[in-house]
C-alpha cells in the first residue's frame, strides 16, 4: 500500500496526542460558543435572561414583601426606600409583585413555545421529510389553522377554556403551532438537500435515523434561534391576554395584568404601570438580543 | 464471480416537461476484484446508473422502466409503480446499502455530516450492518481510518478539521467499512487537486485488491480510466457506445465517438493552438432520435445511420461497438446481439 501514513506523520500524531492530552475538542457547539462570546450584545442579553430566571427561581428570597400583602395606608406611593418601585392602589409592593411576576410570565412563555415546537415542529419535520402527499395534508391543515390570526385564536381559546396558567399555555401554543411547524419544515427542507443525507441513505440508514441523527442536528441552529424569538412573542401574548383579562387572575401577579390594573391610575400613579411594562420590555429585548447573537453564532459561514 | 450485473436497464425521468430517457438499454457486468470505468460526458446517464444501483433515484420523477440489476445475485430494482412493492424493496435495499454495496460521492466536502465526529460516522455504518458491539465497531472504525492513511488519533475530530483529500479518504473508509462486494465511485476525484487525486486513486485500487471488491468507477477523466480500470464502457446519451477492456478502448478504439474523445485530449508532445472538440451538442434525452443517437455529430455518418439504430456488436472477443460501420466490417464474424454475449461471458 502506498505510504500515505508515513512513520514521520505517525510520530507527529503521537506527539500531538501526548502534548494535547485532554485538550478541549473543537466541537460545533464549542465553536458556536466562541463566536457567541465575541458578540457583546448577545452576552448582555444572555446575562439579563439568566438574571431573570434566577429572579423567578428565588422570588421568595428576593422579594421584600409578599406579592399579595396589602398595606392600605401606603396606597399608590411613588418609589421610596421602603418600596423601591412604589405601591399600587391596594398598597401592594410593586417590586415584590414584579419579582413574583417573573414566576408566571417566564414559565408560561417558555412552556408554550416548547409545546408549540414539540407538536408543530414534529409535524413540520414529518411533512418536510416525507414530502409529497404527507407534506400536502399536514401543511394544508396548518394553513387552515394559520388562516385565523394567532392573537384572535389565542383569545378565542383562552376565552373558551377560561382563566388559568394551564389554559393560557394551551391557548398560546395552539395558536402559534402552525407558524412553528413552518419554521421546522423549512429548516429540514434546506438540510435535506445536502449530500450527506444522500450519503446516509447510501449507507443504509433508516428514515428515522436520517431525520433524527442527520437532519435535526443540522437544522437545530435555525430552530433554536426562532425558539428564543418565539419566547419573546409568547411573553408579550401572555401579557396581552392578561391585559384584556383573559390570562392570569388577581391577585396572582402577572406583568400584563399589572399593566392592565395600573392603567386606571395612569395619571396619578404612572409608576404602577411603568415598572411591569419595563420588565416586559427588558425580557423581550434580552431574548431578542440573545436570539440574534445565537443566530449569528450558529451559522458557521458568518465567521 | 460476477458481483454486479446490469441487464438491459432502462431508466426514465418523468418530469412535467416530458419524459427524459436517461438510460437506454444498458448492460454491464463486473466481477469481484475488477474495476469497470464508466465514462461519458455530462448528462450521459453515468450518475443515474449509479443511483439506480443504490436505489437512490429521486422519486417520484426517476423510474426504472425495465431491466434488472443483480448485486450478489439479488435483483435490486423494482420496475413496478406500486407503493407496497416499492416499500418492501426499500427495506431490502436498506440492508444491502452499506453492507453489500457502498458508494463514494463526488464531493467529499459535503458528503460528511458536519455535526458528527468522523469516527462516529464510520462507526455508524458498522453499527448499522455489522452486528458488532459498540466498542468492537469503534475498534473497526479506527482500523479503517488507519487503513486509508488517517491516524486514529483523529477519531474524535469533525469534518471541518480535515482537508478535502482526507475527507474523501474518510468517505472511502465509510464506504468500505462493512466490506461491500460492490463499490460505486461517482467521480471520486473530480473535487480534488491532481496530486491528491493520484493518492486517492492509488488508495482505492489498493483497497479494492485487498477486499476483492467490484469497483464501478464513474468518471469523465480518461486518464483515471487508464490508471486503474480493467474494463471500460463509453456512455453516450444513455447508451453504451463502446465496451471492452482498457486495452481495447485505449489501444484500439473503434467507435467514432470514442475516437473523437481521444482526439479531444491534449497531447504532451504536440503544440496546438486549440484543443479539438466534438462539434454539436449531445442529443436532448427528452427527444432522442429513432436512429443512431450520435448521428448528428458523427464524422462517419451515412444514409444508413439516419435510418436505423445500430446494436452493440462484438468486433473482437470482449470488445463491443455500437456502430453500423464496424458491424458491417464484422458481418461475417460475430454479430450476435451484445447482451447475449455479455451474459454468456
Q: What angle do CA B112, B117, B120 make, to 5 degrees?
A: 95
Q: For A2-38, what is each residue's pLDDT tens digit?
A: 556 666 777 766 666 665 555 556 677 787 888 888 8
Say if residue B344's pLDDT is above 80: no
Contact B37, B49 (CB under 8 A): no
Contact A232, A284 (CB under 8 A): yes
* The predicted structure's pLDDT at residue A123: 94
pLDDT tier at A124 (50, 70, 90 boundaries)? Answer: very high
Q: For A65-96, what is each residue's pLDDT tens digit?
A: 888 878 777 777 788 887 888 887 777 888 88
Mean pLDDT of B8-16: 89
* The predicted structure's pLDDT at residue A121: 92
Say if residue A229's pLDDT is above 70: yes
CB contacts < 8 A (A, B): 100
Length of chain A: 303
For chain A, percent of residues with pLDDT exceeding 70: 91
* The predicted structure's pLDDT at residue A1: 45
Query: Which class is domain A82-302?
Result: mainly alpha
The DSSP line for A45-92 is HHHHHHHHHHHHHTHHHH-SS-TT---GGGTTPPP-SSSTT-B-TT--
CA distance B181 to B211: 8
Q: In sequence order, what are the residues at sequence separation of 6 or more whose Cβ sits closer than 8 angstroms to the Cβ of residue B195?
A: none
- Chain B positions touching A196 (Cβ under 8 A) are 110-114
Minimal C-alpha gap between A34 and chain B (Å)? 16
β-bridge pairing B35-39 and B62-71: unpaired
Minimal C-alpha gap between B9 and chain A (Å)? 20
β-bridge pairing B182-186 and B214-219: parallel
User: In chain A, which residue's Cα lies nearest the Cα of B175?
Assistant: A203
Which of A5, A195, A205 lies at the smallest CB-CB distance from B105?
A195
Best of A191, A196, A202 to substitute, by most chain B Cβ atoms within 10 angstroms, is A202
Alpha carbons within 13 angstroms on the beta-carbon side of residue B98 total 24
Q: In sequence order, what are the residues at sequence separation of 6 or more whose Cβ sits closer than 8 angstroms to the Cβ of residue B202?
A: A2
Q: In sequence order, what are the residues at sequence separation of 6 or more whose Cβ sits closer than 8 angstroms to the Cβ of residue B318?
A: B244, B245, B248, B345
Q: For A29-63, what is each residue's pLDDT tens digit?
A: 787 888 888 889 999 999 999 999 999 999 888 88
Q: Which three three-digit cell numbers place residue B172? A: 472511502
Say if residue A113's pLDDT is above 70: yes
* The predicted structure's pLDDT at residue A5: 65
pLDDT tier at A301 (50, 70, 90 boundaries)? Answer: low
Say if residue B110's pLDDT is above 90: no
Which of B113, B150, B153 lies at the smallest CB-CB distance from A196?
B113
Residue B12, helix vs strand vs coil? strand
Say if residue A302's pLDDT is above 80: no
* The predicted structure's pLDDT at residue B36: 92
Looking at residue A24, the DSSP 8-state letter turns out to be: P
Mean pLDDT of B321-342: 66
Strand order in the sheet with B101-104: B101-104, B182-186, B214-219, B35-39, B231-236, B239-245, B319-321, B313-316
Selection from A146, A150, A145, A167 nearest residue A158 by Cα:
A167
Element (H, E) at A287: helix A271-298
Q: What angle do CA A120, A126, A132 make, to 5 degrees?
A: 120
Q: For B211-248, what is each residue's pLDDT tens digit?
A: 889 999 998 888 888 888 999 999 988 889 899 999 98
Residue position matching grid coordinates 489498493:
B206
Looking at residue B75, the DSSP 8-state letter turns out to be: E
- Chain A positions touching B96 (Cβ under 8 A) are 204
* The predicted structure's pLDDT at residue A303: 45
Selection from A105, A75, A73 nearest residue A90 by Cα:
A75
User: What Cα–Cα distance (Å) separates residue A116 from each residue in A216, A223, A280, B4, B193?
Assistant: 17, 12, 21, 49, 48
Say if residue B147's pLDDT is above 50: yes
Minimal C-alpha gap between A198 and chain B (Å)? 8
8 Å CB contact of A204 and B206: no
CA distance A34 to A42: 12
State whether residue A14 sits within 8 Å of chain B by CB: yes
CA distance B221 to B187: 9
Backbone angles phi, psi at B294, to 5 degrees: -95, 0
Least confident segment among A247-256, B175-184, B243-252, B336-345: B336-345
Residue B212, helix vs strand vs coil? coil
Q: In sequence order, what are the residues at sequence separation of 6 or more whose Cβ sits closer than 8 angstroms to the Cβ of residue A37?
A: A43
User: What Cα–Cα distance (Å) separates residue A209 from each residue in A152, A229, A240, B2, B137?
Assistant: 38, 29, 41, 32, 18
Helix and strand totals (H; E) in chain A = 14, 0
8 Å CB contact of B110 and A195: yes
Selection from A269, A276, A228 nearest residue A248 by Cα:
A276
User: In chain B, which residue's Cα lies nearest the Cα of A196?
Assistant: B111
Contact B23, B52 (CB under 8 A): yes
Best of B52, B115, B128, B188 to substitute, by most chain A Cβ atoms within 10 angstroms, is B115
Q: For B188-211, what is each residue's pLDDT tens digit?
A: 888 788 888 888 888 888 888 888
Where is pLDDT greater, at B254 or A184? A184
Q: Which three three-digit cell numbers place residue A289? A: 438580543
Contact A187, A223 (CB under 8 A): yes
**Per DSSP, what are the bridge partners of residue A177?**
none
Which of B151, B158, B206 lies at the smallest CB-CB distance from A2?
B206
State whether residue B105 sits within 8 Å of chain A by CB: yes
CA distance A134 to A143: 14
The DSSP line for B21-73 is EEEEEEEEEEETT-EEEEE--TTSSHHHHHHHHHT---TTTEEEEEEEEEETT
Which of A28, A199, A214 lies at the smallest CB-CB distance from B105?
A199
Length of chain B: 345
- Chain B positions touching A11 (Cβ under 8 A) are none
Q: For B41-69, what is each residue's pLDDT tens digit?
A: 888 888 899 989 888 888 778 888 888 88
Where is pLDDT greater, at A198 or B269? A198
Q: For B276-302, what is each residue's pLDDT tens digit?
A: 777 777 777 788 888 888 888 888 888
Which of B60, B110, B146 lies at the smallest CB-CB distance from A196?
B110
Contact A262, A18 (CB under 8 A): no
Q: Which three three-digit cell numbers place residue A95? A: 417590586
State whether residue A266 sits within 8 Å of chain B by CB: no
Q: Which B positions 36-75 lie with beta carbon below 8 A of chain A?
A: 54, 56, 60
Q: What angle do CA B184, B20, B283 make, to 5 degrees?
A: 95
8 Å CB contact of B111 and A199: yes
Average pLDDT of chain B, as a whole number: 84
Domain parsing of chain A, residue ranges: 82-302
- Chain A positions touching B105 (Cβ under 8 A) are 195, 198-199, 202
Q: For A151-171, what is each residue's pLDDT tens digit?
A: 899 999 999 998 888 899 999
Say if residue B323's pLDDT is above 90: no
State whether residue B202 sits within 8 Å of chain A by CB: yes
Say if residue A299's pLDDT is above 80: no
Average pLDDT of chain A, as a whole number: 85
Amino acid at each position: 500500500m502506498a505510504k500515505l501514513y508515513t512513520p514521520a506523520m505517525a510520530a507527529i500524531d503521537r506527539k500531538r496526542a501526548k502534548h494535547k492530552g485532554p485538550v478541549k475538542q473543537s466541537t460545533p457547539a464549542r465553536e458556536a460558543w466562541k463566536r457567541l462570546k465575541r458578540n457583546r450584545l448577545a452576552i448582555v442579553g444572555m446575562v439579563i435572561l439568566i438574571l431573570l430566571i434566577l429572579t423567578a427561581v428565588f422570588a421568595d428570597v428576593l422579594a421584600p414583601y409578599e406579592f399579595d400583602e396589602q398595606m392600605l395606608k401606603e396606597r399608590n406611593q411613588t418609589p421610596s426606600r421602603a418600596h423601591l418601585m412604589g405601591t399600587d392602589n391596594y398598597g401592594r409592593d410593586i417590586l415584590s409583585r414584579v419579582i413574583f411576576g417573573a414566576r408566571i410570565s417566564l414559565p408560561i412563555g417558555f412552556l408554550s413555545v416548547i409545546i408549540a415546537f414539540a407538536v408543530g415542529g414534529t409535524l413540520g419535520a414529518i411533512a418536510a421529510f416525507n414530502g409529497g402527499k404527507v407534506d400536502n395534508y399536514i401543511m394544508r391543515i396548518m394553513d387552515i389553522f394559520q388562516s385565523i390570526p394567532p392573537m384572535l385564536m389565542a383569545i378565542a381559546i383562552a376565552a373558551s377554556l377560561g382563566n388559568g396558567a394551564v389554559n393560557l399555555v394551551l391557548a398560546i401554543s395552539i395558536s402559534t403551532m402552525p407558524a412553528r411547524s413552518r419554521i421546522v419544515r423549512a429548516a429540514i427542507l434546506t438540510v435535506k438537500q445536502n449530500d450527506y443525507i444522500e450519503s446516509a441513505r447510501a449507507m443504509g440508514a433508516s428514515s428515522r435515523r436520517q431525520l433524527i441523527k442527520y437532519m435535526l442536528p443540522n437544522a437545530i441552529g435555525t430552530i433554536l434561534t426562532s425558539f428564543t424569538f418565539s419566547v419573546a412573542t409568547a411573553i408579550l401574548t401572555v401579557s396581552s391576554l392578561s391585559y384584556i383579562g383573559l390570562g392570569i387572575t388577581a391577585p396572582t401577579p402577572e406583568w400584563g395584568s399589572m399593566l392592565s390594573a395600573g392603567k386606571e391610575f395612569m395619571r396619578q400613579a404612572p409608576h404602577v404601570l411603568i415598572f411591569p411594562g419595563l420588565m416586559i420590555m427588558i425580557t423581550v429585548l434580552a431574548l431578542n438580543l440573545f436570539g440574534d447573537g445565537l443566530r449569528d453564532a450558529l451559522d458557521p459561514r458568518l465567521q | 464471480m460476477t458481483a454486479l450485473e446490469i441487464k438491459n436497464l432502462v431508466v426514465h425521468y418523468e418530469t412535467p416537461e416530458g419524459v427524459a430517457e436517461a438510460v437506454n438499454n444498458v448492460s454491464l457486468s463486473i466481477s469481484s476484484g475488477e474495476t469497470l470505468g464508466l465514462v461519458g460526458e455530462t448528462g450521459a446517464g453515468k450518475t443515474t446508473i449509479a443511483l439506480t444501483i443504490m436505489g437512490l433515484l429521486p422519486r417520484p420523477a426517476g423510474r426504472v422502466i425495465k431491466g434488472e440489476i443483480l448485486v450478489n445475485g439479488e435483483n435490486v430494482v423494482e420496475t413496478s409503480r406500486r407503493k407496497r412493492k416499492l416499500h418492501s424493496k426499500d427495506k431490502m435495499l436498506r440492508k444491502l446499502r452499506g453492507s453489500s454495496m457502498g458508494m463514494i460521492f463526488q464531493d467529499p466536502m459535503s458528503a460528511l455530516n458536519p455535526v458528527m465526529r468522523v469516527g462516529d460516522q464510520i462507526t455508524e455504518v458498522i453499527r448499522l450492518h455489522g452486528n458488532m458491539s459498540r466498542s468492537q465497531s469503534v475498534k473497526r472504525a479506527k482500523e479503517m481510518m488507519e487503513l486509508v492513511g488517517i491516524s486514529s488519533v483523529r477519531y474524535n475530530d469533525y469534518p471541518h478539521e480535515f482537508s478535502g483529500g482526507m475527507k474523501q479518504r474518510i468517505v472511502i473508509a465509510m464506504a468500505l467499512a462493512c466490506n461491500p462486494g460492490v463499490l460505486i465511485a461517482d467521480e471520486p476525484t473530480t473535487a480534488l487537486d491532481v496530486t491528491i487525486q493520484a493518492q486517492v486513486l492509488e488508495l482505492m485500487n489498493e483497497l479494492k485488491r485487498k477486499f476483492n471488491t467490484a469497483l464501478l468507477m464513474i468518471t469523465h477523466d480518461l486518464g483515471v480510466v487508464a490508471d486503474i480500470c480493467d474494463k471500460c464502457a463509453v456512455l453516450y446519451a444513455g447508451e453504451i457506445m463502446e465496451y471492452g477492456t482498457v486495452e481495447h478502448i485505449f489501444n484500439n478504439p473503434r467507435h467514432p465517438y470514442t475516437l473523437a474523445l481521444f482526439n479531444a485530449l491534449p497531447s504532451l508532445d504536440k503544440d496546438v493552438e486549440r484543443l479539438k472538440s466534438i462539434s454539436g451538442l449531445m442529443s436532448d434525452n427528452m427527444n432522442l432520435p429513432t436512429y443512431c443517437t450520435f448521428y448528428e455529430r458523427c464524422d462517419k455518418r451515412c444514409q444508413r445511420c439516419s435510418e436505423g439504430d445500430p446494436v452493440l456488436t462484438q468486433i473482437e472477443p470482449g470488445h463491443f461497438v455500437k456502430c453500423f460501420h464496424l458491424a458491417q466490417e464484422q458481418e461475417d464474424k460475430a454479430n450476435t446481439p451484445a447482451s447475449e454475449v455479455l451474459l454468456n461471458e
